[in-house]
Structure 1
Amino acid sequence: MDTPQHPTQQKPEPQGTPHTTGAIIGRFMPPHNGHRYLIDFAQGFVDHLTVFLCSLPDEPIPGELRERWMQELFPQVTLVHFTQAIPEAHRDNPHSPSIWAQAMKPHLPQSTDYLFASESYGENLAKALGARFIPVDPSRNQIAVSASLIRKSPLAYWSYIPPPVRPYFVRRILVIAGSKSEDIAQHLSEVFSTVYLPHYTSRSLQNHELESIHAAQWYALSRQANRLIFYPQNPNSSQHSTLAITPPGLPEPHLILVFEQGLSSGDLHALKTKTSDMNLPIHYFDKAVGINLEVLKHRILAEFHQWGLDSL
């Protein structure tokens, strides 16, 4: 791990000196239930806890996003965000713990009593800080997960992902079937025990307000999704030459399901033209097949292998 400099501190130090103090350091990429156990354990052990989040610009999950997750998950800790690298602090350097300790000390109380970690680096870092090392579930017997496992197969480790983090990993499935889009999205959400985003219609709303409502729906419902979330096509898509198939305010899908029986020949042609260069799977169901939920489920399950999950 490269040591960052010039951190931004997100929470002021409390007035006075806490009776006991502790520290945790990590990348939290992403934060998961193992991290929650570690930090909750430490909060139950000391009076004041400082958590250091380390991020670099080229990492797969942006540091700013991880910072927001950590602030929401752990509002009672002092969160310090390191964002710049010091190459000499790599793991193979025997002086790395001392480099880390020097970077951390300006953001800690005058003395740090305990350093908490689930990995072996904690012992040497604790010594460099002048703190006692408290290992927490080093064998992963309590929470059998790691951030690398989640990044590799998020759907397989879904139960270990906290709700604020789930929108980042949820698989989005767009249903295009004209006037039947919302009904199919709702039925599929029931089949897969998850949620869908219903159409929100109001004649009194302006376009920018409707976009904000879609974004708010996504924010609220994607946290409750079970691996997948379904949403119907933009109900006004046929009114636009660009065929804006995704409702405004929502992210692009990972998978598109198209039902020809719900579309006019003109809309179907426009859709195929618009999606021809999209680098994502699109399944078409012709009018002869119709809308068969078992066929739908089979097609969606066929995508699970590349999504890191074989079945639900």
Structure 2
Amino acid sequence: MTHSFETGLVVGKFWPPHRGHQLLLETAAAQVTELLVLVYANPDSATTPAAVRAGWLRELYRGDDVADGPRIGTTPLRIVALSADADGVPPDAAEVAVQRDFVREWLGRQGLRVGVVFSSEDYGPGFAAHLGVPHVAVNVARVQVPESGTATRQNATAARYLHPLVAAQLGTVPPARVPRVVLLGAESSGKSTVCQALAEAYHTAWVPEYGRTLHEQKNGHLEYEDLLYIARRHAELEDEAAATARGVLFCDTNAATTALYSYYYFHACDPALQAMAAVCGQRYAHTFVCAPTVPFEHDGWRGPEALRSFQHGMVLMQLDHFHIPYTLLQGTVAERVAQVRQQLGQWGMMKGII
């Protein structure tokens, strides 16, 4: 792929990062060989400072291998958080010339040269001219994504313009096109089989457990950082499947179970993953738990059968902890499908969704 420029520059508060920011970054990355992203504000957020927001951006654009670093397509991202104390970030209210001089001087101190500036703001052309490089405007009129960081901070309904990972950090969930039903349970408890059978019965889509996909892809060698990535990618795959789902979307596993496995394997859980787990009660319209009473199938990836009972108990404990109602599924696959259909039929008649 031929790029128009070498190093591109995007500067912003990203407070919080939203779909408009993602559009800006993805548009820029398609035109450069490397993209430098500076994240800062002064005064900064006390609860989600620039370093945290930069971390969210890195996570949004990491791939299957964390060692590769964040990238969009083949374009690597260099995401840098700046602060008033460490970097001399001027106040947001400072004159435009002061803001422009700060960036130019910071780039000079770092020995960095940029070839183009991308922005969605009116200040973009003058800023780029001050650096002596061209400017590319992206979504300035807010037509493609009608949202700004300020509006997002001031409007709770703006969650629809947030990636689910970012929304979870703010304690909310983007509205869903269709209700999502999640199936949880221990290993080899029939989640995937029942999910697929339900999707066929309802003529709709279902989302396999992404953690299993990555686990096999990495030959069982998951790293601590992979667990948050699994939750993020699973949420994205749910959003993609929801676009074609009819009436309801069935999901095999959720971020809460991924958090359990993070503690199980690494005795720790990333705060961002904890936040994604905490909003599962909002994200899914109903939760079903598969009882570990079907014959155990050891496929080479699962733990020993003796762990099933413990895993099942942990799932139930976590649901109780988050105050998430659930329905326990028993019996054969056909019987479990019938139990789900009965439950959703009753619930759907009240809600008018199925």
TM-score category of the 2 structures, normalised to the smaller one: 0.5 to 0.7
Cα separation, 1, equivalents of 2:118 and 2:109: 18
1:50-61 aligned at under 5 Å gives the runs 50-54=35-39, 58-59=47-48
Which residue matches 1:281?
Answer: 324
2:54 maps to 1:63:
yes
Task: Render the CA deviation track for 1:277-311: whole Å, top value 9, x for unaligned.
Answer: 51242234699x961336337759999xxxxxx97
Which residue matches 1:186?
Answer: 196
The offset of 1:81, in angstroms, is 1.3
2:104 maps to 1:91:
no
Given candidates 184, 189, 205, the residue that maps to 1:175 is: 184
Cα separation, 2, equivalents of 1:224 and 1:196: 9
2:117 maps to 1:115:
yes
- Secondary structure, counterpart of 2:321 in structure 1: coil
Equivalent residues of 1:42, 1:116 under 8 A apart: no
How many positions carry a matched residue from both structures? 264
Cα separation, 1, equivalents of 2:314 and 2:5: 64
Given candidates 318, 341, 345, the residue that maps to 1:293 is: 341
RMSD: 5.9
The offset of 1:114, in angstroms, is 3.8
- Secondary structure, counterpart of 2:92 in structure 1: coil
The offset of 1:117, in angstroms, is 0.7
Cα separation, 1, equivalents of 2:119 and 2:134: 11
- Secondary structure, counterpart of 1:295 in structure 2: helix
Instruction: Specify which structure has the higher proportion of helix.
Output: 2
Task: Render the CA deviation track for 1:132-188: whole Å, top value 9, x for unaligned.
Answer: 444322002244455675996688458xx59x9999979893435995544433345
Cα separation, 1, equivalents of 2:152 and 2:39: 19
The offset of 1:261, in angstroms, is 8.6
Change (3 A) 1:25 1:73: same
Equivalent residues of 2:115, 2:133 under 8 A apart: yes
Structure 1 residue identity aligned to 2:343: V
- TM-score scaled by length of structure 1: 0.54
Task: Render the CA deviation track for 1:53-96: whole Å, top value 9, x for unaligned.
Answer: 31678428553342251722154356251343457623211133
Which residue matches 1:40?
Answer: 27
Change (3 A) 1:109 1:32: same
Given candidates 204, 224, 243, the residue that maps to 2:237 is: 224
The offset of 1:195, in angstroms, is 0.4
Cα separation, 2, equivalents of 1:50 and 1:221: 26
Equivalent residues of 2:182, 2:288 under 8 A apart: no
- Secondary structure, counterpart of 1:141 in structure 2: coil
- Secondary structure, counterpart of 1:291 in structure 2: helix
The offset of 1:198, in angstroms, is 9.0
Cα separation, 2, equivalents of 1:80 and 1:259: 40
Equivalent residues of 2:28, 2:35 under 8 A apart: no
Task: Render the CA deviation track for 1:100-141: whole Å, top value 9, x for unaligned.
Answer: 33223334655x554221112324433543444443220022
Task: Render the CA deviation track for 1:189-248: whole Å, top value 9, x for unaligned.
Answer: 565623032997xxxx9xxx8684996976865542236773369xxxxxxxxxx89995
Structure 2 residue identity aligned to 1:53: L
- TM-score scaled by length of structure 2: 0.49
Change (3 A) 1:301 1:219: farther
Cα separation, 2, equivalents of 1:261 and 1:50: 48
The offset of 1:24, in angstroms, is 2.0
Change (3 A) 1:223 1:37: same
Change (3 A) 1:40 1:311: farther
The structure having more radius of gyration, on CA atoms, is 1
The offset of 1:51, in angstroms, is 2.0
Which residue matches 1:139?
Answer: 141
The offset of 1:99, in angstroms, is 2.3
Change (3 A) 1:59 1:189: farther
Structure 2 residue identity aligned to 1:66: L
Change (3 A) 1:274 1:106: same
Change (3 A) 1:114 1:295: same
- Secondary structure, counterpart of 1:186 in structure 2: helix
Equivalent residues of 2:189, 2:290 under 8 A apart: no
Structure 2 residue identity aligned to 1:194: W
Identity of aligned residues (%): 14
Cα separation, 2, equivalents of 1:81 and 1:65: 12
2:91 maps to 1:79:
no
